[in-house]
Structure 1
Amino acid sequence: MHRTHWKRNLYILMVCQFFVMAAMTMIIPFLPLYLQELGVTDPQSVSMWAGIIFGINFLSAFLFSPLWGRMADQHGRKLMLLRSGFGMAIVLTLTGFAVGPWSLLFLRFLNGMISGFIPAAIALMSMSTPKNHVGYSLGMLQAGAVAGGICGPLLGGMMADLMGYRMIFYVTGLTILVAAFVVLLFVKENFEKKEEKVKTNTLKDFKKITSTSPILALFIVFFIVQCALIGVNPLLSLFVQELSPGQNIAFYAGLAMSVMGFANMSASPFLGRLSDRKGHHIVLLSALCFVSVIMLPQAFVQNYWQLILFRFLLGLGLGGLLPSINSLIRHLAPEGMESRTFGFSNSFMYLGTMIGPIVGGWLASVAGIRSLFIASALLLFVNVFIVWFRVVPAMKRRAVKKGAVS
């Protein structure tokens, strides 16, 4: 693919990511209600099944992400986009035909297993974009995904009231199918397959990739970020209820999540471009310091609008985190193993997404909801030290070495 085509790919994939993420998040508002429709009526059973079904998607994604990374390196990133797009379109459509909680559980596991549209898009764009524009490119992709994540639950809730729960799965399947066809017809990739001299397996791949400093540190940073942020989200509505008793809790909780998303979406392209100029590790460290400081005061807010202000500021800082991490991974990945590196990175992300809500729920039950913000701030501060002592020195050494060679 000609380098001049990377911007066209970027804008197409940005729009596709918006629709895919919107489709994937449409079901979040009514998943427990869909379980009731499938015959699970006991409130405790509904909560248990909803938690398991929500988590099983990330468990299978965690397990299979390295496999898809290996296949992307061997057969191309566009093929992985198509595999995920067409696969999820089929599985989500079939989810509308679920007959009970066990069939829903199986389909959610299957969806996680074949998912990976957004990670595949990140891998494709990171490989096809000139290195001095990777931060901007991945920032734009994140903006598209975050925008979809904001709109999806809102649209899903509205459409569920109008057409019923099962119809939403057909709509989401069709939406992702259209996105997959757009990728098939309009996204270009000039993939050159490289024969591996030595046959490897997943463990050998992981050892080789993490032998390049500071990739393992970045994987750990990614995991901790997801734990710290996702652990708060499921219980945010209860915190909003504590701050604004007797009001429209669902609306205010949605607003608290959406305002963070809007800030994230707005800041991502700017911070991505800034990281291209100043250094991805510099923006990553600065963003982590900022979100660590902003997370802590949320434990002590006394009214809802104070929470909204801090959630907005938190979103601004988050706009510099994931694009910087992914940009660094792109620059550090061993040649010919770029997608496998992203695959392992995604596994750490999914693991954090799975563990965060579990630990967060336990902590809130023991020490109260406000303790979540304190714990999240402490985790993010740990990340600051990891980046300061592991990532920044490694990147400085690489810069010195590169300068000496040139």
Structure 2
Amino acid sequence: MERWKINLAVLWIGQFLVMGGMTMIIPFLPLYLQELGLKDPDEITLWAGIIFAGNFVTSFLFQPLWGKLADKYGRKMMLLRSGFGMAAVMATMGLAMVPWHLLVLRLINGTISGFNPAAVSLMAASTPKEHRGFVMGILQSGSVAGTIFGPLLGGLVANEVGYRPIFYITGALIFAASLLAMALVKEDFQRKTEAQEAPLSVFGGWQELKRIPQLPALFTVTVLLQFSMLSSMPLVPLFVQELSHDPSNIALYAGLVGSMSGFSNLFASPLLGRISDRLGAEKVLVLSLIGAVLCFIPQAFVTTVWQLMAARFLLGVCMGGMLPSINALIGKYTPKGMDSRAYSFNTSALSLGNMIGPVGGGLLAGFMGIRGIFIVSAVLLVLNVLWVRSTLLKKSTPHHASSK
């Protein structure tokens, strides 16, 4: 088997284990806070939000630093640094005694995270150009699969063994993913040559990358995309409650609605990635954004849970063509020797969208209701389409086309 295919298989498993492990805690985080001594529901909600967001705050700040070090010392080294570091931090969360212990550990976890951008950067550098879109789609499917099954497994296991052991299991899963990558992933990285290609500071790297107009455009697309997708997500259970005529099954329906887009995304990502290798990632990105607009608008007018499920399923198909196309385009336009920094800046953009999306959605819902959020998301995606058309859908030569 070709080396890039072996790397892809191993990193798919790694993405699945890391994302599955990271999301296993979601179903019971408020309950764990009760075990740590919190009693007031409002206090629990506040702490849960802060702790959940803490990971994204430090990830947003520190990803560019790890990207610089990956370009200097190798993507595999950063992959292992992140994997083994997160394994230790996640296991330590099971020893927390008070809520602020958990918050500090989440902040540390965000600081040292970076498995995903390192995996994407490594695959972008080692994959033949004609297969890059397909590979980005496969990686995305591994991440999505972990995100779907992680909360499910976390809820099932927590019922059997309690809350604290979940953190030890999560740490073990991430540790296993890191061991697998250490043993089987190979990277053709010439340290002396690569370090001399772009020996810039984090700020200097940003100054260099922003000279290529397509890259800031792609980072902007990522922020708007994540904001659009996540602004309505925390409100979906309340919307399901409004639509449902069967109060006894609201939790089940909310879970189904929440997972619909993930399931369709899982299968659509590799397919749309392969299509992007033939048609071009720019076209697939635009078509996926337009499709997402057409899926968001009906959600504002649905009258049954089943209609909402159908719209969310189709939305997931469109989502399958977005982030993989963005990652493929970043690899296309990034100068040689700066791949990891470019992907790390995009991960910072992803974290920024993850932070402000749910908060912004909650604030906007107070003025226009849950249905209005779907219209706002559609408008933001229309702006994304116009932005992509003006910045990417024009004749341009990749900055380093001759070197990759």
Q: TM-score, structure 2 length as denominator?
A: 0.96
How much does 1:250 deviate?
Answer: 2.0
Which residue does the alignment assign to 1:350?
A: 351
Aligned to 2:364: 363
Matched, 1:226 2:226: yes
Cα distance in 2 for partners of 1:205, 1:397 equals 22
- Alpha-carbon separation, structure 2, partners of 1:366 and 1:31: 29
Preserved CA contact (<8 Å) 2:141 2:270: yes
Structure 1 CA distance for aligned equivalents of residues 197 and 370 of structure 2:
53
User: What letter corresponds to residue 59 of structure 2 in structure 1?
Assistant: A
> Is the 2:72–2:199 Cα contact (8 Å) retained in structure 1?
no
1:3-402 aligned at under 5 Å gives the runs 4-193=2-191, 194-196=194-196, 199-245=199-245, 246-393=247-394, 396-398=395-397
Secondary structure of 1:99's aligned partner: coil
Q: How many positions carry a matched residue from both structures?
A: 399
Distance in 1 (CA, whole Å) between partners of 2:30 and 2:204 is 41
Contact conserved, 2:197 with 2:337, CA < 8 A, in 1? Answer: no
Structure 1 residues 37 and 311: alpha-carbon distance in aligned structure 2, compared to 1, 3 A threshold: same
8 Å contact kept, 2:91–2:168: yes
- Amino acid corresponding to residue 338 of structure 1 in structure 2: D
Q: Is the 8 A contact 2:365 2:373 kept in 1?
A: yes
Q: Counterpart amino acid of 1:19?
A: L
Offset, 1:365:
2.0
Residues 134 and 198 (structure 1), Cα distance of their counterparts in 2 relative to 1, 3 Å cut:
closer
Q: Distance in 1 between the 2:66 and 2:14 partners? A: 20
Q: 1:316 to 1:336 in 2, by over 3 A?
A: same
Unaligned runs of 5+ in 1: none
Q: Kindly report the root-mean-square deviation, in angstroms, between the aligned alpha carbons of the 2 structures.
A: 1.6
Post-superposition offset of 1:200: 2.7
Matches of 2:198 and 2:222, distance apart in 1: 30
Q: CA deviation at 1:349?
A: 0.7
Contact 2:68/2:201 (8 A) holds in 1: no
Aligned-pair CA distance for 1:305? 0.2
Provide Cα deviations, 1:357-377, integer angstroms capped at 9, x if missing partner: 110111112221111111111
Cα distance in structure 1, aligned partners of 2:276 and 2:197: 35
| Matched residue type, 2:396 | R
Aligned to 1:376, the other structure's residue is in SS state: helix
* CA distance in 1 between partners of 2:107 and 2:159 (Å): 26
The structural deviation recorded for 1:340 is 0.4
Inter-partner Cα distance in structure 1 for 2:401 and 2:152: 48
- Counterparts of 1:223 and 1:175, CA distance in 2: 29
Give the distance between the partners of 1:195 and 1:136, measured in 2 at CA. 29
2-structure distance, mates of 1:17, 1:69: 18
Tell me, yes or no, if the aligned pair for 2:198 and 2:337 is still in contact at 8 Å: no
Q: 2: distance between equivalents of 1:143 and 1:198?
A: 31
Q: Distance in 1 between matches of 2:131 and 2:99?
A: 46
The code of the aligned residue for 1:172 comes to T
Q: Aligned AA for 1:101?
A: P
- Residue type of the partner of 1:397? S
Q: CA deviation at 1:199?
A: 5.0
- Residue aligned with 1:368, SS: helix
Amino acid across the alignment from 2:298: P
Partner Cα separation in structure 2 for residue 353 and residue 271 of structure 1 = 24
Distance of 1:402 and 1:64 partners within structure 2: 29
Could you tell me how far 1:391 is from its partner in structure 2? 1.1
Is the contact made by 2:227 and 2:357 (CA closer than 8 Å) also made in structure 1? Answer: yes
- TM superposition score normalised by structure 1: 0.96
1:402 is displaced (CA, Å) by 7.3
Q: 1:162 to 1:204 in 2, by over 3 A?
A: same
Specify the code of the residue in structure 2 equivalent to 1:233. M
Instruction: Indicate if the aligned counterparts of 2:197 and 2:336 stay in contact, CA closer than 8 A.
Output: no
Q: How far apart are residue 232 of structure 1 and its match?
A: 1.3
Letter in 2 for 1:386: W
Unaligned runs of 5+ in 2: none
C-alpha distance in structure 2 between counterparts of 1:221 and 1:143, whole Å: 20
Structure 1 residues 292 and 103, CA gap change in structure 2 (3 angstroms): same
**Structure-2 change in CA distance of 1:9 and 1:120 (3 Å):** same
Shift of 1:213: 2.2
Residue type matched to 1:241 in 2?
Answer: Q
